[in-house]
Structure 1
Amino acid sequence: MTFTRYAIYFAPPAGVEWVKFATSWLGWDMETGQAVAHPAIDDVDVSDITEVPRKYGLHATMKPPFRLRDGQSVAALKDACAALAAHQTPVTLDGLEIARLGRFLALCPVGDTTALNALAASCVCDLDAFRAPAPEAELARRREAGLSPKQEVNLTQWGYPYVMEAFRFHITLSGKLDKPTLAQVQSTLDARLAPLLPRPFHIADLALMGEAEDGRFHLIHRYALSG
């Protein structure tokens, strides 16, 4: 399969109950590259709520999607991902919780995120030689959100504003929702997903992802954190 962009994600392990529910909730299994049926929930239009994040699959971004730089190869990118993971140790946090991030819902880590933030920073920095510069139109679109001075520096240096000190690990569960819908959906997830969430929460590998021409992301390979 040909990919237009690549990314480094935390991709939750397949087969775990919370992952199976959350994957079905989004409706796209990036591990198998297939759409999956949403859970049937009264008075909640799961398909509409999850339309925006669906194509990315169940994930947390470690290095945001990027186009491959001229002169670089996918094979070399794979080798670099393997080398990066070989020098990083697994990360353990107290758990995950359902949280509101502005107008959308996400799973966020509970506990000290220092090691997790350092892992994400390494992904951004160590693999940046493979990233083609972002097009000016993309940079302009990012700036429309109103960036802080630090976010502007990140955008210029790394092609994305919300990295390094501005990074916040999260696994997106919805698009932007109005307040009544936000409350309703959070209540639903508190009842259906929250009891399944892991405590503690382990990050044992990194996933190289590829974006297909239809915009959907697929798992290319997992790299165990073995440092």
Structure 2
Amino acid sequence: MTFTRYAIYYVPPKQAEWSRFASSWLGWDLCEGRPLDHPPNTGLDVAAITDVPRKYGLHATIKPPFRLAEGKTADALAERFAQFATEMAPVRLDGLTLTRLGRFLALCPTGDLLSLNRLAFNCVRDLDDFRSPPSAAELDRRRTGGLTPAQELALLTWGYPYVGDSFRFHITLTGKRPKAELPAIESMLQDRLGPLLPAPFVLGDLALVGEGSDGRFQLIHRHALTG
């Protein structure tokens, strides 16, 4: 299958109860590349709430989506990614917690984030020769929300503003919603998803994913971190 863009994600284990619920909540199975029915009896318009993040599936971004640089191949990227995974160690954190990030909800890790943040930066840096530079339109779109000088530098260096000190690991669960809607969504997710969340939370592998012609992402390879 041909993909338009590639990315490195943390993709939660498919067999875990919490990730099964959260994938269904989003309505897209990233591992199998197919739609999922939303959970029943939520009292919410889940399809609307999850419309924006649905195409990405249940994930946390490690290296953001990119087009392949000229002269680079998908096979070479997969080989480099596999090698990278052998050089990186698993990361153990205290757990995951439902968190408001502005006007959307996500799962964020708790505990010492130093090793996690270092892993993410190493991935961005070590695979960056596979990334085609963003277009002027893509750069302008990234700037619409306003960037700090450090984020602007990261955008020009890595093609994405939220790298290094601006990186925040998060597993997105909603699009941006009116503030008045957030308490009801948060309450439902705390009740249904909260008790299932892992403690501790161990990030033991990473995934190479691709964006299909329909704009939706799916798993290509998953590799354990064995460094």
Q: Shared fold by TM > 0.5?
A: yes
Question: Residue 63 of structure 1 corresponds to which residue in structure 2?
Answer: 63
Any idea what SS the aligned residue of 1:12 has? Answer: coil
- The amino acid of 1:197's aligned partner reads L
Question: Aligned pair 1:154/2:150, yes or no?
Answer: no
Q: Is the Cα contact below 8 Å between 2:9 and 2:59 reproduced in 1?
A: yes
Question: Residue 141 of structure 1 corresponds to which residue in structure 2?
Answer: 141
- The amino acid of 1:60's aligned partner reads A
1:101 Cα offset (Å): 0.2
Runs (4 or more) in structure 1 with deviation over 2 Å come to: none
Spell out the pairing of 1:206-225 with structure 2 (5 A cutoff): 206-225=206-225
TM score, norm. by length of structure 1: 0.99
**Structure 1 pair 138–78 and aligned structure 2 pair: CA distance change class (3 A):** same
Question: Residue 120 of structure 2 corresponds to which residue in structure 1?
Answer: 120
Q: Is the Cα contact below 8 Å between 2:42 and 2:188 reproduced in 1?
A: no
How many Å separate the matches in 2 of 1:123 and 1:42?
37
Spell out the pairing of 1:2-21 with structure 2 (5 A cutoff): 2-21=2-21
Question: Aligned pair 1:191/2:195, yes or no?
Answer: no
How many Å separate the matches in 1 of 2:70 and 2:39?
43
1:42 Cα offset (Å): 4.1
1:43 Cα offset (Å): 2.5
How many Å separate the matches in 2 of 1:112 and 1:177?
30
TM score, norm. by length of structure 2: 0.99
Q: Is the Cα contact below 8 Å between 2:95 and 2:200 reproduced in 1?
A: yes
1:9 Cα offset (Å): 0.1
How many Å separate the matches in 1 of 2:106 and 2:163?
17
Length, aligned pairs only: 227
Question: Residue 103 of structure 2 corresponds to which residue in structure 1?
Answer: 103
1:41 Cα offset (Å): 2.7
C-alpha deviations, 1:24-58, integer Å up to 9, x for none?
00000010111000011343011110000000000
Structure 2 spans left out of the alignment, 5+ residues? none
Any idea what SS the aligned residue of 1:151 has? Answer: helix
How many Å separate the matches in 1 of 2:145 and 2:34?
32
How many Å separate the matches in 2 of 1:141 and 1:217?
20
Any idea what SS the aligned residue of 1:191 has? Answer: helix
- My pick for the range that moved more, 131-140 or 39-48, is 39-48
Structure 1 spans left out of the alignment, 5+ residues? none
